[in-house]
Amino acid sequence: MTLLASLADIVGQKNVLTGEELAPYLTDWRNMATGKAQCAVRPGSTAEVSGVVKVCAAAGVPVVTQSGNTSLVGGATPDDKGNAVILLMSRLNKIRALDADNATITVDAGMILQNLQAAARDAGFLFPLSLAAEGSCMIGGNLATNAGGTQVLRYGNMRDLTLGLEVVCADGEIWDGLRGLRKDNTGYDLRDLFIGSEGTLGIITAATLKLFPQPAAKCTAMLALSSVENAVAVLRRARKAFDTALTGYELMAGVCLDMVHQCFPQQKIPFADKPAWYALLEISDAEGEEHARAMFEAMLGESFEAGEIDDAVIAENLTQSKDLWHLRESITLAQAQAVKSIKHDISVPVSNMVSFIEKTDAELQEKFPGLLNMTFGHLGDGNLHYNVGSSERFSGDDLMKNYDAIYNLVHDNAHAHQGSISAEHGIGAFKIDELPRYKQARELDLMKRIKAAFDPLNILNPGKVLR
């Protein structure tokens, strides 16, 4: 029997996609990576995922797991050899259990993040992971990349939100680690190894996740700032004033919101005088509207008096708050539409942020005059999307010609500022040659040994994370 016939036996003929049906799964969200594959399959259960992996393992065929296909590092795209099978997770999309007393929910890995947020809300809880791709990214993809997003300050990233996993291993056997325990010190933590492994160690088919109480009130403000130094000063003050009530602190260069307004004119910037930088500040309060508003206004008043903020708009209601967040969350789409860009997803300690930006901006402009700096990101986590783009003075071709040199310059500076070259998007295919430049040799060696132990045939997402 051919491989495709064996796969059809497991998932049903209509769930084996070839030709035109396969095409959408061969390219990434930004059209930056394109590969080839024998087919894509849509299993409908963990048992079917297991069957698919067993057949592929027996044939030595690579398996590339793809969920929402929103990876920004080419992580879910097959290479160009053409022998891979793409494993699509979209049919595994059910809630398995909600345990209110334990404050946990167990879901299939193909559930779309937004649907999980809604299910938690309907049950009176909050599932806090939040990112601009939430309408299409899936829980398995969030887990495989240890996704971060805009609420990490208070709730942590995907690893912090996860208690248990179910995983199909490289030989097709199923590991049932769906435990809802907040304490479990019984040896090596396999769960935390699979989280962030980008489809290279196993296929996540379900997860048990933490739920939180819905906050009684939220306050959101957009701040106009003259410098990153002031943005850091506001963060310091906000941390002190709000402690765990501080749920979001995002930084955006003026040029980012100009681009959003240019691409989506219905989205208005709420200040007449455009500042150099914006920050989006949000708190979530357990007590109520009045309490939240009083502490929010007191902190902002102090910040004004100290000269840290030039102007501020406080959302008066949920609609206004959504509009402010929408501006922030449209930056990635606007950049993809308006310019050619190179993404850097760096993190440095917040204390090194000003120095990192000043030095990197200056060095880039000196070497590549006219290059467009489009920095934004999760300043509260020390994570910047230090993205750079083409401009009238620096063409898209110039940008692509200098891709490696620009990548290295930015990553060298992040490293020199005690930072990381990937805060939340992962290594994928795009950063595979960057990783050995910055990881300690010992660390890389241990990672390679783990990969060999989990996937001795190297069939799980080859060409990603490690060469």
Nearest residue to ligand MLT by CB is 332
Residues in region 331-350 near ligand MLT by CB under 6 A:
332, 343, 345
Q: Which is nearer to ligand FAD, 165 or 245 (CB)?
A: 165
Binding of ligand MLT at residue 3 (CB under 6 A)? Answer: no
For the record, the structure tokens of 139 come out as 């829980």
- By CB under 6 A, the residues from 377 to 416 that bind ligand MLT are 377, 385, 387
Tell me the per-residue interface mask from 387 to 426 with ligand FAD, x by CB under 6 A, - otherwise: -------------------------------------xx-
Q: Reading across the β-sheet that carries 85-88, which strands appear in turn?
A: 16-17, 39-41, 85-88, 63-66
CB of 258: closest distance to ligand MLT in angstroms? Answer: 16
For residue 458, give the amino acid letter: N
Characterize the bridge pairing of strands 162-168 and 203-210: antiparallel
- Residue 144: contacted member of ligand FAD, ligand MLT, none (CB under 5 to 8 Å, by partner type): ligand FAD
Minimum distance from CB of 337 to ligand MLT (Å)? 12
388 neighbors 335 (Cβ within 8 angstroms):
no
Nearer Cβ to ligand FAD (77/284): 77
Of 3 and 336, which has the nearer Cβ to ligand FAD?
336
Mark 362-384 as b/e (b = at least 16 C-beta within 10 Å): eebeeebeebbbbbbbbbbbbbb
Query: Which range touches ligand FAD (CB under 6 A), out of 119-127, 198-206, 285-293, 393-401?
Result: 198-206
| Interaction residues for ligand FAD, span 59-88 (CB under 6 A) | 64-72, 75-76
* Subset of residues 203 to 262 that bind ligand MLT, contact rule: CB under 6 A: none
| 343: partner contacted, choices ligand MLT, ligand FAD, none (Cβ within 5-8 A by kind) | ligand MLT
Cβ(117)–Cβ(82) below 8 Å: no
Rounded alpha-carbon distances, angstroms, from residue 140 to 87, 113, 116, 134, 275:
12, 9, 12, 12, 39
> Under the rule (CB under 6 A), what is the footprint of ligand FAD?
29, 64-72, 75-76, 89, 109, 131-133, 137-138, 140-142, 144-145, 147-149, 198-199, 203-204, 332, 424-425, 428, 461, 464
> Under the rule (CB under 6 A), what is the footprint of ligand MLT?
72, 132, 332, 343, 345, 377, 385, 387
